[in-house]
Amino acid sequence: MAGVDTVLIFVIIGVVILAGAVAYGVNLVRGRAGRTIEREAPPAAPGLPAEDLDRRPPTDSTDTVAPPESPGAPAPAPEATGPEAPPAPTAPPAPTVERPESARGRLQRLRARLARSNSSIGQGLLALLSRGSLDEETWEEVEDTLIRSDLGVEATTELVDSLRTKVKVDGTTDEATVRGWLRDDLLALVQPDMDRRIASSRVGDRPAVILVVGVNGTGKTTTVGKLARVLVAEDREVILGAADTFRAAAADQLETWGARVGVVTVRSDKDGADPAAVAFDAVKAGIEEEADVVIIDTAGRLHNKVGLMDELGKVKRVIEKQSEIDEVLLVLDATTGQNGLQQAKVFSEAVNVTGIVLTKLDGTAKGGIVVAVQRQLGVPVKLVGLGEGPDDLAPFDPEAFVDAIVM
């Protein structure tokens, strides 16, 4: 019996131990089943809100295996981690080509500028001529006023004699009447019947050729650039020749003027080149390109320097080997007065001047230079400069000019 009891006790103990183990295992399983495993959210992509993470497209989780490196092969370049490379530079935009307005009637629009500078002539004369009585002293003052305006002695004498006769015959010094007489007589002196057209159309199978000459400081290169604008406004195909090879900036200046209106400039690559050669090349280009007109800018030169004047003659002769010269424009500074007349005479002897360009006419009260220079050379004033703007070069209009004086 004692042996049976002992076995029973061991059985009971084993059952108890087994039951405890089973209970422990059940509780352990239940505890694990009730826990929540929190995974750290992957980092948000730059610029993407965290709340949008679950809306991002799924990524491919397949690993990419790099191929084994060959012995001696160079190591792959490390991936750049710096800032993004700047974009490739883009070509600059094409320059805007200007389209100038027609120059027709331009002097009428600029008449007020001319009137401001020449008002002393008209107002002074009218004040003198409108006096109740005109004695010899008054007529002498009239003559002095006209001579100071650079009208010239001969033209002054003609004008005063005409006015004295009209006052004597009519017996009046009424201002309106005198103004009319003065206008008519001045207009006659300016010679409105002169041909002031500029050669700007093709002659047969070649372009018209314009040679521009003058002394230093008259604004010659600027005048050439402005003339190109005048002709472009009239739908002319223009080529410029930079034959002023002695002044370093002259060719650059002329090229800039041409580029603004889409005009080609023929120039030399080096300073001090033969100006006659450049002029020849410009005319040749005009013939090949079938241009309407070629304008040649020449170096400024003192009229009393024989060597320089001879060189200008050479330029003319070289051009004439392939084309006639249709126009020689002499650029004069209107403020130089009688000195400008001497310049005009010498240049005319060297290159047969066909027309005058008067610059700075708005800056002088000596408008009489128009009459004087035409009488000196027997050629017309064709263009006048009345300001610094690109379109302040105007075809000369005799009536507008006289009206600006006596308005």
Instruction: List binding-site positions for GTP.
Output: 214-221, 297-301, 359-362
Q: Angle at the Cα of 322 (from 316 to 328), degrees rounded to 5? A: 35
The H or E element spanning position 340 is: helix 338-351
Contact indicator for 364, 120 with CB cutoff of 8 Å: no
- Which residues fall in the annotated binding site? 214-221, 297-301, 359-362
Closest CA to 117 of 332, 355, 387: 387
Look up tokens 């710096």; give the residue.
82
Q: Angle at the Cα of 278 (from 273 to 284), degrees rounded to 5? A: 155
Closest CA to 330 of 220, 216, 200: 220
**Partners of 297 in beta bridges:** 212, 242
For the chain, how many residues are written?
A: 407
> Three-state SS string across 35-68, please?
CCCCCCCCCCCCCCCHHHHHHCCCCCCCCCCCCC
**Structure tokens given for 240:** 């410029």
Closest CA to 104 of 208, 219, 197, 212: 197
The beta strand positions in 153-281, using DSSP E, are 208-214, 238-243, 264-266
**Partners of 329 in beta bridges:** 212, 355
Look up tokens 């120059």; give the residue.
103
**Structure tokens given for 60:** 């491919």
**Partners of 339 in beta bridges:** none
**Partners of 47 in beta bridges:** none
